[in-house]
Every structure is written in C-alpha cells, then in structure tokens.
Amino acid sequence: MPGIAQICGCDALRARDKRRRRGGDRNHAEMSVAALLAAGALACPGFASAQGSTQLVTVESFGGTTAALGMWQRSGRCWRRVAGPWAARLGRSGLSSNKREGDGSTPTGTYRLGSTIYGIAPNPGVRFRYHRLVCGDWWDEDPSSRTYNTFRHVACGARPSFGGSSEALWRITPQYRYFAVIDYNASPVVPGRGSAIFLHVAAGSTAGCVSLSEQRLVRLLRWLRPAARPLITIKHA
C-alpha cells in the first residue's frame, strides 16, 4: 500500500484547470492540493488493495493497543480522507499477521465489512441491513463447531450447541451497542484462525476487534454504503 501523503497529479490538474476556467489563481489551486497532501488528506494513485471499493476505512497502528483510524472516499484514481484520523483501540496483544483463536490480537490485512450491522440499541440510521440484538443471539467462537465464526440465534434461555468462548451478543454493553463485522476468516472459515472480529464501541483494549468512541462509530456506520463495497485495512504504520 502506498504512503498516504503522495503526489496527486490527477487532482492537481483538475483543480488547476477548474481555477483557470473560472479565471482564478492557478497557484492558489495548486497550493490547496499541496496542503491536502501535506495533511495526509489525499492519496494517489490510490490504495493497491482497494478491490473495486469506493469507501475505505484505514487502521494504522504505531504499536501497542492504539491506532489511528481514517475514512476515505475514492474519486477517480485518487482517495480523499473524509474523516479522521481518530483514536481507535486494538486487541490487547496488538496486531498480528498470524492470528489464532483467543490470542488477543487484531489481524492485519484488508477485509470486506459484513452485509449486516448489529446492535443492542435501535438502528441509528445506517444504510446497511440492521439487526437489533435480542436474547438468543450468539457469535459462534468454538473452533470445533461446524458454524464457527458465524452469527447464530438459539431459543432465548437455551444452551447453544457450540461452546468455547462464544459470545452472548445481547449481553455485552457498551461494546455491542453497535458493531460492524470485519470479514476476517470468513471465506473460507479456517478452524482456530480467529473469530468475531468486529468494529465496535470502545471500552478499552479489545480481545481482537477494532473499537471507536460511540459517537464516531455511529458517524462511520451511517457513512457506509453497500454499493460502495466498503473495505477496512489494518496495518502497522
């Protein structure tokens, strides 16, 4: 992946031509683009792992359990940061390129965001399908289970067939007031490679998820559009 602050010839030319058509100051337009680049608000020609997406969430760790999260929108060959960098939290063991179930690390890489957003609280106005959690909603985190690393619903009060560290999602607050699923270890699912990697409400370091303050998470979730095929990329800075 290229560095965030790179020379964006496409945007510079567009801005210059636009100013010329309006009879404005060419140097002013070029300096405006330069200022965006210096601030890390433009990336050109883009992110190598964008996979056809026009929305991208970046999570960059400088070590430990904290990271900087940014929201990016594609325009032609270039990407413009629309929000961030915001402080985010990672797993208690930091980042890992070889995540295993229960190791407390957040996996590096680029992943789709799941097609359903979940939450204990009412729908905050997201464009994705929203599932409000109820009694009996679980995430299967048992590597020996045939439904490992998937959402499951069982009858309220019933004991699920899967065990391990599976989570009763409706009971976990404030973390699961809202969350998006990061499609890590999803296609195919490999037993023991890790499960339940979410983007959720912050409450300190996580067990492997990425978390944000509730206000910022809600802003991010409302911004996401299914047609944009949003991605999240998690890496060392």
* Residue 122 DSSP one-character state: P
Widest CA span of the chain, in angstroms? 71
- What percentage of residues in the chain have a pLDDT greater than 90? 76
Instruction: Work out the average pLDDT over 189-213.
Output: 97
Instruction: Work out the average pLDDT over 169-190.
Output: 97
**Which residues have a Cβ under 8 Å from the Cβ of 224 and sit 6 or more positions away?**
55, 113, 126, 127, 128, 180, 230
**Which residues have a Cβ under 8 Å from the Cβ of 215 and sit 6 or more positions away?**
none
Task: Reduce the DSSP state of residue 180 to 3 states and report it.
Answer: strand
User: What are the φ and ψ backbone dihedral angles of 53, each rounded to 5 degrees?
Assistant: -80, 155
Report how many helices (DSSP H) and strands (DSSP E) the chain contains, helices first.
Answer: 3, 15
CA dist 167 and 67 (Å) reads 25
Query: Are 110 and 19 in a shared domain?
Result: no
CA distances for 233 relative to 172, 182, 190, angstroms: 25, 10, 20
For residue 143, say if its preceding peptide bond is cis, omega within 30 degrees of 0: no
Q: Are 195 and 139 in contact (CB under 8 A)?
A: yes
Q: Are 208 and 105 in contact (CB under 8 A)?
A: yes
In the chain, how many domains are there?
Answer: 2
Instruction: Work out the average pLDDT over 168-192.
Output: 97
Query: Are 30 and 87 in a shared domain?
Result: no
* CA nearest neighbour of 118 among 24, 236, 217: 217
Query: Are 139 and 156 in a shared domain?
Result: yes
The pLDDT score that the predictor gives to residue 47 is 67
Q: Tell me the sheet residues that pair with 66.
A: 89
Instruction: Report pLDDT digits (tens) over 61-112.
Output: 999 999 999 999 998 888 999 999 999 999 999 999 999 999 999 999 999 9
Please state whether the predicted TM-score (pTM) of the whole model is above 0.85.
no
Query: Are 2 and 25 in a shared domain?
Result: yes
Query: Are 96 and 19 in a shared domain?
Result: no
Q: Are 166 and 160 in contact (CB under 8 A)?
A: yes
Task: Reduce the DSSP state of residue 95 to 3 states and report it.
Answer: strand
Query: Are 131 and 149 in a shared domain?
Result: yes
Is 80 exceeded by the pLDDT of residue 15? no
Query: Are 151 and 103 in a shared domain?
Result: yes
Query: Are 12 and 96 in a shared domain?
Result: no
Instruction: Work out the average pLDDT over 37-44.
Output: 63
Question: Which residues form the domain of 152?
Answer: 49-236
Query: Are 28 and 119 in a shared domain?
Result: no
- Scored b (16 or more CB within 10 A) or e, 151-181 reads bbeeeeeeebebeeebbebbebeebbbbbbb
Query: Are 188 and 112 in a shared domain?
Result: yes
Query: Are 122 and 217 in a shared domain?
Result: yes
Is 60 exceeded by the pLDDT of residue 228? yes
Query: Are 154 and 183 in a shared domain?
Result: yes
